[in-house]
Amino acid sequence: MLKLVLCAAASASATIEWRGITATIKDRSILRAVGGQAKAGRLHAIMGPSGSGKTSLLSALSGTCDRRLKLSGDLRADGVAVDKVEGAYVRQQDVFYPYLTVRETLTFAATLRLGPDADVPTIVDSILMKTGLAKAADTIVGDDKIRGVSGGERKRLAIACELVDDPDVLFLDEPTSGLDSFAAQRVVASLRTLCDAGKTVVCVIHQPSGGVFAAFDDLTLLSEGECMYHGPICDLDARLRKEGFPRPRTAAPAEHAVETVSVNYGSPETEASSREVLAKLSDACKKAERPLPAATPAKTKATAKGPRRRPLAELRLLYQRARRDVSRAKAATAIKAAQQVMTALIYGGIYDLDDSQRSIQDRFGLLSLCVIGATNLAIASTIRAFPKEKTIVQRERSPRSGRPMYGALPYLFSKVAAELPLSVGLSCLFGGILYPLAKLGRTTRKFRRFLGLTALNSVAASALGLLVGAVAPSTDAALAMFPPIIVLMIIFNGSNISDESTPKPIKFLPKLSLVRWGFEGLAVNEFEGLEFKPFTQIGRPSLKTGADALTRLSFEDSTIKRTAVAQGAILGACYFQTYRVLKNARPRYATLKRATVVDDGIRWTADAEARLQKIPGFVRGRVRGAAEKYARENGITTITDEVFVALKPKK
Ligand SMILES: Nc1ncnc2c1ncn2[C@@H]1O[C@H](COP(=O)(O)OP(=O)(O)OP(=O)(O)O)[C@@H](O)[C@H]1O
């Protein structure tokens, strides 16, 4: 569907120019009036010491800055003033489905982004060639634990995935970090190929080798949030020499540049002298900066919003991916199966149930262990794996423009459908071994119900694990939430504390405990119709039937249906909440306030300027003068709405 939108973010930009990019957080300046430009066909590096603001500048240009930052400045894409430059953003750490091959990963991205009419195989082949991944095309991607393609190939895959819809601009955050110099050179060679094809490529680089640095055309050198050099790399040495910092013969150009602009905190004297160097280079940089001409008016243009969403096709594709991921994770599946077999053998070896009075307690104990074990395993394994997958889903669902690549609902459906058979299978494997060994139930009907209830418990516990993984910001946070959740569920399992003793404010908790419903269902199934031999000792009270035993735990009114419905309700609620979290979990970024009016070195953001314009003409000039005086006295280069409001100008 084509929709007319105001072009506030450039989509087909080739030359990016920026002036006065300022970023602050609370009262701390992170970028101070940084200017520069990146051109199509030229490979642009952003370099500087650690903490100098490289990533902040890259994200300010690409519109992906942490929203706690206050951003302002004048950003142009092909002469049009924009809030952000629309382009692909390749993060430092990219995660993929480890069991998919490079080709499958790319094909998946291309099919979903481009829709059914695109010639996906041809596009994928061409990208594989451009990024030098043709040889690794049929190797699985892998990760830290699973052997797959090399680190350099994985970085190139991250770039390749962003190329499927042919963006004009690419932003990359440290694409060479963590790679040896050969792998880094291959990554940069791929970027060179893209530049030669007319793309604008802007990269943050960190400690580049001589070969890598030489492959770049232009450089923005930052220190302490200020621009120290901006221009062609071939002029860098000459500029530093001119300012009194010639490069020693033994030093590599990149190393010398970063060292020159690094603050030496060794002593107050060295720090002061470093700051003099920075001031000198920053002044030289500002002098060389040419003001931008008046911005070309933003055009109203037809912008494609991406292919129309087709939930069924998405579901099919997502299901294929999830199935492949599950079916190829053979080692992980084997470990889980071995866990189930071992646990069943241990329980089966210890418990030997008959119709004696002692077997009542043994039965309750064994059933409780079965439920706790299954719940534990299902939640823990989901919690461990899901936060990582969530990162992939969030990345894929945060589009550069238009709609997300796919909906949260097809994703969740496909994941559940792909993982369900394994969950049920593992649960049945456990039950199939344990049931005859421990001599539980002894009727086929009870056995079938046992398998059904334990499988339902596992699936519901996985759903809870998904929800915890979805709301937790990281795997560590999710794992930290796990113990209190499981402990609470065990406390309220129906046999550890009575309803009467449960404190009033948390009386609802037993109703939410999967362990309780699972245990109650298994107990009702097991004890139904059983009869027990009385104690032989005279005077020792005995329980004659299974119903008596259930009454002891206040389960006398319970039915299997009731416990299954309760578990089903918890499962449904967990899936629904997970869906909502995934649907709404979009990264929110800071908006660049446009500062397009330049007056005597002080810039005004558009909203501050708009506020100023509301002041009657005869007072406006005085207010403007007072605001700029205040800004100069306080080292403020851009007057934002907040600064202006803080001044409380008198009308
Ligand atoms: N969201 C934020 N909250 C607080 N401080 C921030 C935030 N973003 C950036 N900073 C600070 O701004 C400074 C610049 O950060 P940035 O990540 O841009 O630097 P960098 O040059 O990319 O560093 P590095 O090379 O170490 O990755 C750092 O001191 C950082 O701590």
50 CB within 6 A, ligand 1: yes
52 CB within 6 A, ligand 1: yes
Q: What is the pLDDT of residues 96-135, one digit of tens each?
A: 999 999 999 999 989 888 877 788 999 999 999 988 899 9
Q: Atom 5 in ligand 1: which residue has the minimum CA distance?
A: 25
Q: Quote the ligand 1 centre to 227 CA distance (angstroms).
A: 15
C-alpha separations of 482 from 117, 333, 472 in Å? 45, 22, 11
- State how far the Cα of 582 lies from the Cα of 294, in Å rounded to an integer: 42
The region of weakest confidence among 235-244, 313-322, 500-509 is 500-509
pLDDT at residue 127 in the model: 92
C-alpha separations of 450 from 361, 377, 526 in Å? 18, 18, 8
- State how far the Cα of 6 lies from the Cα of 298, in Å rounded to an integer: 7
Is the pLDDT at 88 greater than 80, yes or no?
Answer: yes
Q: Which residue has the tokens 């190139």?
A: 156
48 CB within 6 A, ligand 1: yes
**593-647 under CATH 3.30.565.10, yes or no:** no
- State how far the Cα of 528 lies from the Cα of 551, in Å rounded to an integer: 12
Domain edges within the chain: 2-87+167-301, 311-584, 593-647
| Range list of H helices, 85-119 | 102-114
Position with higher pLDDT, 505 vs 522: 522
The region of weakest confidence among 52-56, 128-132, 272-276, 579-583 is 272-276
Q: Atom 28 in ligand 1: which residue has the minimum CA distance?
A: 51
Closest CA to 400 of 191, 102, 74, 165: 165
Q: Quote the ligand 1 centre to 600 CA distance (angstroms).
A: 29
pLDDT at residue 7 in the model: 38
Average of per-residue pLDDT across 351-374: 91
Q: Atom 30 in ligand 1: which residue has the minimum CA distance?
A: 51
651 CB within 6 A, ligand 1: no
Contact 14, 195 (CB under 8 A): no
Give the H or E element holding residue 219: strand 218-223
Residues in the chain: 651
Closest CA to 462 of 563, 377, 566, 583: 377
Domains 2-87+167-301 and 593-647 agree in fold? no
Is the pLDDT at 647 greater than 70, yes or no?
Answer: no
Residue type for 585, please? A
Q: Atom 12 in ligand 1: which residue has the minimum CA distance?
A: 30
Closest CA to 422 of 319, 341, 326: 326
220 CB within 6 A, ligand 1: no
Give the H or E element holding residue 206: none
Closest CA to 395 of 67, 173, 172, 91: 91
Fold for 2-87+167-301, please state it.
Rossmann fold (3.40.50)
278 Cβ neighbours under 8 A, 6+ residues apart: 223, 224, 226, 228, 261, 263
Kindly report the number of other CB atoms within 10 A of residue 201's CB atom: 27
pLDDT at residue 308 in the model: 63
pLDDT at residue 400 in the model: 61
Average of per-residue pLDDT across 563-582: 95
Is the pLDDT at 515 greater than 60, yes or no?
Answer: yes
Q: Quote the ligand 1 centre to 328 CA distance (angstroms).
A: 39
Closest CA to 57 of 223, 249, 239: 223
pLDDT at residue 5 in the model: 35
55 CB within 6 A, ligand 1: yes
Q: Quote the ligand 1 centre to 53 CA distance (angstroms).
A: 6
pTM across the whole model:
0.79
Give the H or E element holding residue 457: helix 444-471
25 CB within 6 A, ligand 1: yes
- State how far the Cα of 492 lies from the Cα of 513, in Å rounded to an integer: 6
Chain mean position to CA 187:
23
Average of per-residue pLDDT across 406-429: 93
Closest ligand 1 atom to 225 CA? 14
Confidence tier at 584 by pLDDT (50, 70, 90): confident
The region of weakest confidence among 202-211, 340-349, 392-401, 490-499 is 392-401
**ipTM surpasses cut 0.85:** yes
Is the pLDDT at 598 greater than 80, yes or no?
Answer: no
Confidence tier at 648 by pLDDT (50, 70, 90): low
Q: Quote the ligand 1 centre to 55 CA distance (angstroms).
A: 7
Q: What is the pLDDT of residues 603-636, one digit of tens each?
A: 777 777 778 888 887 788 888 888 888 877 776 7
Chain mean position to CA 133:
25
Q: Atom 23 in ligand 1: which residue has the minimum CA distance?
A: 51
30 CB within 6 A, ligand 1: yes
